[in-house]
Amino acid sequence: MHIVLVEPEIPGNTGNIARLCAATGFELHLVRPLGFSTDDKYLKRAGLDYWHLVHISYHDSFSEIVSANPNATFYFFSTKAQRKYTEAGFTENDFLVFGKETAGLPESLLKEHWDTAVRIPMREDARSLNLSNAVAIASYEALRQLSFLSL
């Protein structure tokens, strides 16, 4: 499976997500611009000594990923989505797409892919979850649905 971070801003979150990818075997896709340098000490510290286990690809746009994977299913995580993430039927080569910490995914991207937009339920008065926590929740639900085949 694949994790896509569209314009991530906080190096610690991206480092934590990279560590999650190392533990699960998910591929990590980072869509520029990034809000940090890939040499950032907080990014490296959060990923610890797992970096050699992570397959990372860098992309200049989200459409670059779609073009390279025309038959893939993309799930877009947003607090604005109606459908719960547990209602998605994940498969082995799906892409789980997350937006930047301060703004989430662009509205245009959500509108274009509304049929595969999903949300993690939470209280109405809570704005959002931490990005790395949301990615962990989604990743392990996908793995659960696939009977943890890759682990």
Domain map (residue ranges) of the chain = 2-145
Are 28 and 56 a contacting pair, CB within 8 Å?
yes
Give the predicted TM-score (pTM) of the model: 0.94
CATH superfamily of 2-145: SPOUT methyltransferase, trefoil knot domain (3.40.1280.10)
Mention every residue, 6+ apart, whose C-beta is less than 8 A from residue 8. Answer: 14, 30, 34, 35, 36, 100, 101, 131
Question: Which pLDDT belongs to residue 149?
Answer: 85
Buried b (16+ CB within 10 A) or exposed e, 84-93: ebeebebeee
Per the model's pLDDT, the better-predicted residue between 124 and 65 turns out to be 65
Are 142 and 96 a contacting pair, CB within 8 Å?
yes
Question: Which pLDDT belongs to residue 150?
Answer: 78
> How far is 106 from 99, CA to CA, in rounded Å?
7
